[in-house]
Structure 1
């Protein structure tokens, strides 16, 4: 299997001198730029109608040109990593600082291919320029590749049991303490909603829990939705909607990737990771619309639609998380189609009570090509979750504000005193884009990690 760091290597002056030069070509004043930079290639560029268009790659005999477009997307370099044959390459343009890091990251992420079930050739190797922080690049690229691999793996090989194994592997690498509560033991330990959602599946539901770091450090808790497959339950999905439901554990994949970044960077936090891992399947003992279950914190929950299962398993995990009174708390989940309708597949919607946290995350996302957008926790919509027979109905009986009402449901399980942020992500690229191959994706975690670094060091 090709590894993330097979796509690049540390700075080596001699190796860089022999590498094929890769020119990052702007669209603005392209002809003038080419005349000043590599005029010998002007006829080839014109013959191929290459004018620096974003993500377009022109391969010459002894050079490569990658279109920068207007310069707004640093991951255009990923198009070259996906298109070029094996060999050594080096950026010819003098680029420094964070821009250089992002161009290199774009290359590393563009080289990704999910190759678990097929052989693939070695990717082209980028010889890093002097000044690029390889440690930072390693940490980020490895985390994104991890999230993508977990999401892309079919449920037959990524069920609740194997997701737990993946979490244990991440935890073991950093000597984190792990526990897993499985099957009927969930009822014994008071996780009735996680048990209800997962009880109809052959592979038992479970709650994965690991902790790392100085016990005296600020408490940071990450909760990831681990629905390894979602049939919709008795409110069964149409086949076309079910086709991608292996990715419904994308929240847990992103949480594990973010946790790995935090531990690798040695942030000064007491990290806790909680993943409710289930399959929402159909059998004689499946939970039903109209059922009422207690939650871990005692709130009774009426089930209106078994296809809104993610918020149920998160509710029990959140109830556990807040018992420890964390300083910061995050949920990542592929929770609602409404979020995709609102912001599409490329922007990560998130909900947070603290305006300063929101502004910091959005600014980091803009800077790092990890776009995030704050959504409103509009309290007037809380009434959509009212129930005649329970404390709360877990899903609104209205086509409006689906992502907001899901966030409001989760919000009920977190006291106002806790700094809580909820991401409703897609975790999937529906088509190839430079640096972002079709398939599973890490979304929002680089922006959040940047914010955490500012707050907790690293």
Structure 2
């Protein structure tokens, strides 16, 4: 089990540090002209071009030890195309303390956050003893906020990257409890007969596995506006009796990415001690194949009382979220947010780098977009398109979990969830939770999406 996030941090602000000069392509020549001739010649001979993230070490004047470095800022087009470009330099720098010199103030927060995120490695099964270079936090950066965002992201990545053999429902519960204990939060866990009675769709999805299903609730904060986060915790998804092909199962350890992301966001909120009342709900199941597993065409009764025809046992995530959302709405939180690795249709629509989201609240959407820009955490709004409501109504039950419509799969899934959320300030994310190849500050593997955007949007959403 992995429960405690790594602890990224900045260098002591009073410590000595070597300079890391930041130079844009259009100002490279002027910068070189202002440097000692030995450095200018060194960089020209090495064909340093100040491309985004391009790094050159600077030797002492006697040709000895490295006394500094220069990193390229590229141009505006390169920066628009690649987040955290400066973070490419982190792995190539020698250990020790560094500080940016010449970093434009508008880029300082992204650069500082990228530096911390670039140090993440999932080393549980292949330990590494790398000593990373340390950065002095740039002026004007909210150090506590950036550290909290990095620590929350590290927790999310650790959870998603852990294989299902070591992260089933019980282990996810243990990580959930550990998160609560670190911050003095209260936890409630429902399982067994009570789960079958009170959360019948969570039970129906998880009953096919030998690893018992459960639903967890965390509560933190005594005053302020109320926020409830709901995350899909399907620890592994075989597809059930509608069995996935081998290729479709390769990444299914990440099917609890929604739970991991709301847990990472909760870590950020609690570490920063935001003035709100937080609740986090995670239904934790494994969707397995056995004689006990739910069957296609079964009709389930939900916690809310709505009946659901199961037309695909591989559309299980919306079933467990439905009961969780109904539970959340019984307390009428001021803002309700769900996150899930829910549909392949969302990946087809926007790819792996964007977090698509749904809401009927324009003010919430505007706050989120502002937060996404500030947190280098891109999102994209998709519509709760009412014209597709009839698609999710099968005729012999109130709802269909997998309509054979052939179009708009992410939208119809979101509409299904909205039937259970029944909340005017509801927002749903259909995330991917995985970086398919190494990118600056995002090594291949599990990744949080939307959490930083939400953290930075909360003051506006909740009037903090």
TM-score range, shorter chain: over 0.9
User: 1:382, CA displacement in angstroms?
Assistant: 1.2
User: 1:123, CA displacement in angstroms?
Assistant: 1.4
* 1:247 counterpart SS class: helix
| Structure 1: runs of 5 or more not aligned | none
Q: 1:67 aligns with which of 68, 72, 95?
A: 72
The answer to whether the Cα contact below 8 Å between 1:5 and 1:108 also exists between their aligned partners in 2 is no
CA distance in structure 1 between the aligned counterparts of 2:269 and 2:433, rounded to whole angstroms: 20
Matches within 5 A, 1:43-442: 43-61=41-59, 62=66, 63-69=68-74, 70=76, 71-72=79-80, 73=82, 75-96=84-105, 99-120=107-128, 121-188=130-197, 190-214=198-222, 216-416=223-423, 418-442=424-448
The answer to whether the Cα contact below 8 Å between 2:5 and 2:152 also exists between their aligned partners in 1 is no
Tell me the alpha carbon deviations over residues 403-426 of structure 1, each in whole angstroms, 9 at most, x when there is no partner. Answer: 10110000111224x300001111
CA distance in structure 1 between the aligned counterparts of 2:140 and 2:13, rounded to whole angstroms: 8
CA distance in structure 1 between the aligned counterparts of 2:183 and 2:118, rounded to whole angstroms: 27
The answer to whether the Cα contact below 8 Å between 2:8 and 2:147 also exists between their aligned partners in 1 is no
CA distance in structure 2 between the aligned counterparts of 1:255 and 1:39, rounded to whole angstroms: 52
User: 1:348, CA displacement in angstroms?
Assistant: 0.7
CA distance in structure 2 between the aligned counterparts of 1:450 and 1:245, rounded to whole angstroms: 30
Equivalent position of 2:63 in the other structure: none
* 1:28 counterpart SS class: helix
* 2:26 counterpart SS class: coil
CA distance in structure 2 between the aligned counterparts of 1:124 and 1:56, rounded to whole angstroms: 17
- Residues 399 and 454 (structure 1), Cα distance of their counterparts in 2 relative to 1, 3 Å cut: same
Equivalent position of 2:62 in the other structure: none
The answer to whether the Cα contact below 8 Å between 2:367 and 2:461 also exists between their aligned partners in 1 is no
TM-score w.r.t. the length of structure 1 is 0.93
TM-score w.r.t. the length of structure 2 is 0.92
The answer to whether the Cα contact below 8 Å between 1:15 and 1:127 also exists between their aligned partners in 2 is no
Equivalent position of 2:16 in the other structure: 15
User: 1:38, CA displacement in angstroms?
Assistant: 6.7
- Residues 247 and 312 (structure 1), Cα distance of their counterparts in 2 relative to 1, 3 Å cut: same
The answer to whether the Cα contact below 8 Å between 2:235 and 2:285 also exists between their aligned partners in 1 is yes
The answer to whether the Cα contact below 8 Å between 1:7 and 1:124 also exists between their aligned partners in 2 is no
* 1:412 counterpart SS class: helix
User: 1:236, CA displacement in angstroms?
Assistant: 1.2
Which runs of at least 4 in structure 1 moved beyond 6 Å after TM superposition? none
User: 1:65, CA displacement in angstroms?
Assistant: 2.8
CA distance in structure 2 between the aligned counterparts of 1:40 and 1:239, rounded to whole angstroms: 58
* 2:112 counterpart SS class: helix
User: 1:305, CA displacement in angstroms?
Assistant: 0.8
- Residues 254 and 191 (structure 1), Cα distance of their counterparts in 2 relative to 1, 3 Å cut: same
User: 1:172, CA displacement in angstroms?
Assistant: 1.1
| Structure 2: runs of 5 or more not aligned | 60-65
CA distance in structure 2 between the aligned counterparts of 1:38 and 1:291, rounded to whole angstroms: 76
The answer to whether the Cα contact below 8 Å between 1:11 and 1:130 also exists between their aligned partners in 2 is no
The answer to whether the Cα contact below 8 Å between 2:230 and 2:259 also exists between their aligned partners in 1 is yes
* 2:21 counterpart SS class: strand
Equivalent position of 2:450 in the other structure: 444
Tell me the alpha carbon deviations over residues 334-366 of structure 1, each in whole angstroms, 9 at most, x when there is no partner. Answer: 111111111111111000011111122112212
CA distance in structure 2 between the aligned counterparts of 1:422 and 1:56, rounded to whole angstroms: 38
CA distance in structure 1 between the aligned counterparts of 2:291 and 2:337, rounded to whole angstroms: 34
- Residues 345 and 45 (structure 1), Cα distance of their counterparts in 2 relative to 1, 3 Å cut: farther
Question: Paired residues, what number?
Answer: 450
